[in-house]
Amino acid sequence: MVLSETVRLCLEILARQAYAPSQEKGQNWSRRKAMEHIIAKLLQNFEEGKMTRRQLIQSLALAATAASATSAVPAAAADSHVVKTAYLNHVGYQVADYAKSRDWYADLFGMKVALDDGKKANLAVGESLVIFHNRQSPNTPIIDHICFTIADWDKDKSVRGAVAAELKRRGLEVQSSANSLDIKDPDGFRIQLGGKDQ
């Protein structure tokens, strides 16, 4: 598949999610503007040679995945899975200057700074967060990871064990921390699973 076809497919998915029906007035507009900004920034970085074609495609695919995850999952389908995603918890970005990104997003979109520890900033978008931290390598802006809140994770301690067992049953390598489980998707993107506070 050529670059233009891949980009077109990713943009279609992002557009579908950005314009998806929402119960909250104004949420469609905010979602659309956020997606337009993400797409524009990724394309700008690619055109300026700051990221490779592969990085562009991976970033667009991850953004499309994250956008798709925010749409409603039919209850019957969700109930048949051990790993029941409640909602998108956060998306983590590696950026050149986390404070500059924090201020830009807070000012333009009215996002509230939920945490700033001097190394990273968490901005609240409803129940979800956008996290900015300084990137490790220069000239490589990336989406670092996405995090899903798992249904009943905080209410039922057995859920964590059941989720870990299911992930291992599927042959996934599971990294465990105090509040979450980390896995990698087929393309190597880090996926974090856990409760509300991660």
Question: Is the pLDDT at 24 greater than 50, yes or no?
Answer: no
Question: Is the pLDDT at 128 greater than 80, yes or no?
Answer: yes
61, 81: one domain: no
The first and second tokens of residue 30, run together, are 């905010």
Query: Structural domain of residue 5, as residue ranges?
Result: 1-72
Question: Residue 75: how many CB atoms within 10 A of its CB?
Answer: 8
90, 150: one domain: yes
Question: Is the pLDDT at 134 greater than 90, yes or no?
Answer: no
82, 63: one domain: no
Q: Are 14 and 63 in contact (CB under 8 A)?
A: yes
The DSSP result for 71-127, as a single string, is: SPPPHHHHHT-SS-EEEEEEEEEEES-HHHHHHHHHHHH--EEEEE-SSEEEEEETT
pTM above 0.85, yes or no: no
177, 99: one domain: yes
Categorize the per-residue pLDDT at 55 as very low, low, confident or very high, splitting at 50, 70 and 90. confident
Which domain CATH number covers 99?
3.10.180.10
For the chain, the domain total comes to 2
pLDDT at 175: 94
Which of 12, 42, 72 finishes a domain?
Answer: 72
Question: Is the pLDDT at 143 greater than 90, yes or no?
Answer: no
